[in-house]
Structure 1
Amino acid sequence: MRQMTEDQFDEAFDVVPDPVTGDTVRPTDQGLDRTSQYLWTVVDADGDLYALSGWHYVNRVGYVITQQPWDEDTEAEWFISPDEDDPEEQL
């Protein structure tokens, strides 16, 4: 599994904002093609966020659409961990 920051993920896969809200993470999969290789699921795993290639339901936070597709070898890519130096993140 290759890990990268959110900015690196955005640069590598070109995240497409929601045309209505402008948000990059969409809260539901309504209107999305669950079989698309441009669909990613953002999931929460013990307080860390991962963008998993494809459609997932368990622990999902939302969905991301990209201009670049993922392939069979792509697993979790985008990784965000709370800043350990930020006291508010440690609550």
Structure 2
Amino acid sequence: MNDTPDHIRKKQREIWFSKPQEERVRLGLELIQEVNTQIEDRIRAQHPGFSEGEIRVEFIRQMYKDNLSPEYVEAVSQWVLEKYNSHKHV
């Protein structure tokens, strides 16, 4: 969705690029983390019975299904589940 007028978008860019590079990197990483948290929270709400490993697997599937082969996503999913399950028994 892109409903921001061009003049507002230009002002946003001016504000963004007026910040020091370190602050832009920090803010960008915070934004990525916030979006990831929102996705994980949505998965938890949609699948309340999911374990943390299953939440991670669903996150991976949703985020990368269009960029990775189904076989690779499945292999990564199995690896993630094995790692989460092995940590339960430690």
TM-score (norm 1): 0.26
Larger radius of gyration: 2
More strand, by proportion: 1
More helix, by proportion: 2
Which of the pair has the greater relative contact order for Cα pairs under 8 Å at 6+ separation? Answer: 1
TM-score (norm 2): 0.26
